[in-house]
Chains A and B, each alone.
Chain A
Amino acid sequence: MDSKVLLLMCLPAVAFFVVFNYAPLPGIWIAFTNFNYRDGIFGSPFVGLQNFEFLIRSGQLWLLTRNTILYNLAFIVLGNILQISLAIMLNEIRMKYFKKVAQTLMFLPYFISVVLIGVIAFNLLNYDTGALNALIVQTGGDPIKIYSIAGAWPFIIVLVHLWQSTGYGSIVYFAAIMGIDKSLFEAAAIDGASAWQRIRYIILPSLKPTFIILLLFSLGGIMHGNFGLFWNLVGNNATLYQTTDIIETAVYRMVMSQNNFTTSTAVGLYQSIFGFTLVMLANWFVRRMNKDYALF
């Protein structure tokens, strides 16, 4: 009886995934064809792996994969550390009013469109009229050509990403902290535990399952960069590609200018298979360490 209601509640989510994620799966076939409208997806001639060839031919596969993974690792590791610290700090704040205001302020950047962020960054950082360079010139320095320094951009991008996502991401951890059994804290207080000890021995261990689940989820998306952010910050600035080009931006450029549905599907498939393998590996690894923490 109970499970019926629960299943019913699942239905919208299940329907969503069936319609948008499972039903289109057969369309992957397009990645292996020389597609034409007349013959359709399944009638078009089969060309094997030809659509994957360009990734290797352009000599970029390694660079793109490397950039994508390194950025995501930075996002995941730094992001989670910051989010957890932030959630703990929020939890320690006793002044309700301040807590609410601080939370809201940190939450806000999440709602700013990346398009705007791109514009703001350009107006802060550009050489001719940027605020940063204006400040440097005013104080007697030489302006910096930030949009020509490839080495600076990993820092800028990671920083902007963290600024945008940390407040939002800390909510999950904050909620998890709220869910910790209060009697643990009471017992700790009676035993004379300091604030540090409470964090070290109660909060952090309680956050571990949440952390692992979030980690597993984000590993699945490790091949998927934050396209909007990268595209709006870097755009067509080829000077920065060496350190900023990720699979999505490279593919976007190719597809936008060539309208090639087959190669873009091929790249999407490559990303997904890589991500799938990674999740399976990570999950296997977690399960070996502690069965309860594994996703499946």
Chain B
Amino acid sequence: MRRRTVKAAAAVAAFGMSVAALAACSGGGDGGGGGEGGAPTEITMLVLGDKPTNGRLEAMLEQLNERLIEQANATLDLYYIEWADWQTQYNVQLLSGDDNVDLITTATDWLFAWENAEKGAFLPLSPEMLQEFAPQTWEQVDSEGHWEVTKLDDGEIYFIPEDNFTQWTNHGFFYRGDWATQAGFPDGEITEFEDFTTYFQWVKDNVPDAYPWDVAGANEAALTGYLQGHTDLQTLQQVSAGNYYPFHTSESDPDTVTSWYMEGDELLEAAELAQEWNEMGVWREDALNYDGDTREQLYAGLSGVDQHHTQTFTGGVYDNLSTKQPGSDPRFFYWGQENGNYFRDILTHGAMAVSANSSNPEKALEVYELIRNDEECYRLLNFGIEGTDYIVTDDGFLDFPEGYDSSTDSLGANFWGGRMDEFELPRVTDAPNKQELFDQLDADAKDYPYSTLLINKDPIDPILAAMGSVFSEYIPQLQYGKFADPEAAIAEMRQKLLDAGYEDALASVQADLDAWAQNQG
């Protein structure tokens, strides 16, 4: 469906780190095979993304499998959950319980790892098993004490975190330094969320073809961008109501659960700013129904800003925008920049689980050990075949061979559950100020304090579902400034959330947080 395509595109942008993109559905392996000495065991790894059709993946796997057979008498095959409808397909695939998948890419913040672990989709991994079949992985994760973030309250390990890979998936605005300079910002640098009003007005007045912020569909960036920079509230990632994360704690009072949707005046301030922007014509009048590719609009000089991850900016937007709009001087303003209220990526933004139905869990771990820790395997899986898929420049940068077109030639192996900083290479397409930006982010970033917190959602599920539908009615309208009287609308929304059982859900989450805090000592 059309909307799914959009979602797919957004998802690619969201999770396609670096140039890796697109890839489809291969038949699962039959998992057969004997032990050492017998025929190689086929291990199938579930990955997210569209299956590439350019033949490069197969060529790479052939070489990779030679090495895997040599090292572990196993071969690797990839099973793709495609971006179209991935949220449903991912869970349905795990739900179906068939044994054609051995390794499963997962994540606690976007791939429902906790929910699926609780529902029994993942094999509990004992320390002995990990030590025997994935010793280097065990050692590295253990030395940093990171197994703690992969355990349910039964104390078992359910997945292996991608804990040794630096990435920044905090959100912010990509904007143009050249326009900002002309709008009167010294050195083209915008440092406050509200200052975008000035920037937007300049775009409106001076670039008649462009929307100041061409934005499509339901999202809440205009609200969260403001809220993050004007409160010290931190979102509890463990509990969502529909697409919204309703509970927060504050940095000053990390033991008390609250909600920026329910308490304080900041939501109203954000909504009033959105209303002002809407009246200025910052976005299309019908942005909610519009589903164009807004990133392309930015590249075409038809949009003043776009919003997404730091990683998206350094890994693609900078290069694309500066190439397609020469002199545009791409810049990035991240939410919470004003007050340092943003977070490092959690360690389980990418992770790898072993399927509870795998017939060869030990072999699966052996294969994982190799693709994570063996540099040759790592490079094959992540970069491809040297010379045809990538080249390394004399000064050590990752580049593409002559005539390579990243939109049709990408490898698309999408290994997002165990990348390692030490094997990554800087890329020629990276933003030149990447390191500077990362250092700047690192200086003020907070660590998410609740990585090991488990919230029992069973008793509050109906409340969360009900709250989710209230949010889906009010938040998009607040985000696009569509209410004539935002104050009344927020009061109405808060009343409906109370009716839906907000207080009960809050109490339940608070109780779980209290119990967790007590355990932490």
A-to-B contact residues, CB < 8 Å: 34-39, 50-51, 53-54, 57-60, 115, 118-119, 122, 126-128, 145, 147-148, 231-232, 234-239, 241, 250, 253-261, 263
Contact of A258 with B468 in the complex, beta carbons under 8 Å: yes
A sample of 20 inter-chain contacts (CB < 8 A) reads A36-B120, A37-B94, A37-B95, A50-B461, A54-B466, A54-B469, A57-B500, A57-B501, A58-B470, A115-B1, A128-B284, A236-B217, A237-B476, A238-B288, A238-B475, A238-B476, A238-B477, A254-B242, A257-B240, A258-B242
Within the assembled complex, what's the spacing in Å between the Cα atoms of A64 and B427?
52
How many angstroms between the C-alpha atoms of A59 and B492 in the bound complex?
Answer: 13
**Given A127-B285, A147-B285, A147-B288, A54 contacting B218 (CB threshold 8 A):** no
Q: Which of B59-67, B111-119, B317-325 contacts A (4 or more CB under 8 A)?
A: B111-119
Give Cα A54 to B242, complex, Å.
Answer: 12
Is B35 engaged at the interface, CB distance under 8 Å to the other chain? no
Is the pair A37, B121 in contact by a Cβ cutoff of 8 Å?
A: yes
Known: A128-B286, A235-B288. A115 touches B499 (CB 8 A): no
A118, closest chain B residue (CB): B2
**In the docked arrangement, what's the CA distance between A255 and B496, Å?**
20
Do the beta carbons of B289 and A37 come within 8 Å of each other? no
B271-291 to A contact mask, C-beta < 8 Å, 1/0: 000000000000011101111
Chain B min CB distance to A44 (Å): 9
Given A38, A54, A60, A147, which contacts B462 in the complex, CB threshold below 8 Å? A54
B470: nearest chain-A partner, CB-CB: A58
Report how far A88 CA is from B479 CA in the complex, Å.
51
- Distance in angstroms from B354 CB to nearest chain A CB is 14
Chain A interface main SS type: helix
Residue of A with least CB distance to B241:
A258
Of the candidates B120, B291, B356, which one forms a contact with A39 in the assembled complex, judged by CB atoms under 8 Å apart? B120
Majority SS of interface residues in chain B?
helix
**Bound form: Cα–Cα A36–B458 in Å:** 11
Contact B97 A37 (CB under 8 A): yes
Task: Kindly provide the distance from the CB of A122 to the nearest chain B CB, expressed in whole angstroms.
Answer: 6
Contact of A258 among B217, B240, B458 (CB under 8 A): B240
Beyond A57-B500, A257-B243, 6 additional pairs, beta carbon < 8 A = A119-B2, A145-B285, A238-B474, A239-B477, A256-B88, A259-B91
Bound form: Cα–Cα A235–B77 in Å: 37
List residues of chain A with CB within 8 A of the CB of B121: 37
User: Smallest Cβ distance from A31 to chain B, in angstroms?
Assistant: 13
| Bound: A254/B241 CA distance, A | 9
Alpha-carbon distance A118/B5, docked complex (angstroms): 14
On whether the beta carbons of B466 and A128 are closer than 8 Å, the reply is no
- B437 part of interface (Cβ distance < 8 Å): no
In the A-B complex, the 8 residue pairs with the closest CB atoms: A38-B120, A127-B285, A58-B466, A57-B466, A53-B462, A54-B465, A236-B218, A54-B462
What residues of A have a CB within 8 angstroms of the CB of B290 in the complex?
Answer: 122, 126
In the complex, what's the smallest C-beta–C-beta distance from A253 to chain B, in angstroms? 5
The reply to whether B120 and A257 form a contact with Cβ atoms under 8 Å apart is no
Nearest-neighbour CB distance to chain B for A78, whole angstroms, equals 25
- Residues of B near A119 (CB, < 8 A) are 2
CA distance A37 to B472 in the complex (A): 29
CB-CB under 8 A from B218, the residues of chain A are 236, 238
Please tell me if the beta carbons of B472 and A238 are within 8 angstroms of each other in the complex.
yes
